[in-house]
Amino acid sequence: MATTNLSLYDSDSIPDASDFRFGLVVSEWNPEITQKLHEGAFQTLVEHGAQPENITSVQVPGSFELIWGCKQLLEKNNLDAVIAIGNVIRGETEHFTFVCEGVTQGIKDLNISYSTPTIFCVLTDNDKQQSIDRSGGKHGNKGVECAVAAIKMAELKSKI
Q: Pick the catalytic residue: 38, 48, 95, 139?
A: 95
Which residue pairs, CB below 8 angstroms and at least 24 apart, start in 99-104?
A: 99/62, 99/63, 99/64, 100/124, 102/64, 102/67, 103/63, 103/64, 103/66, 103/67
Q: Is 12 helix (H, G, I), strand (E, B) or coil?
A: helix
CB 30 within 8 A of CB 131: yes
95 given a catalytic annotation: yes
Q: Which residues are catalytic?
A: 95
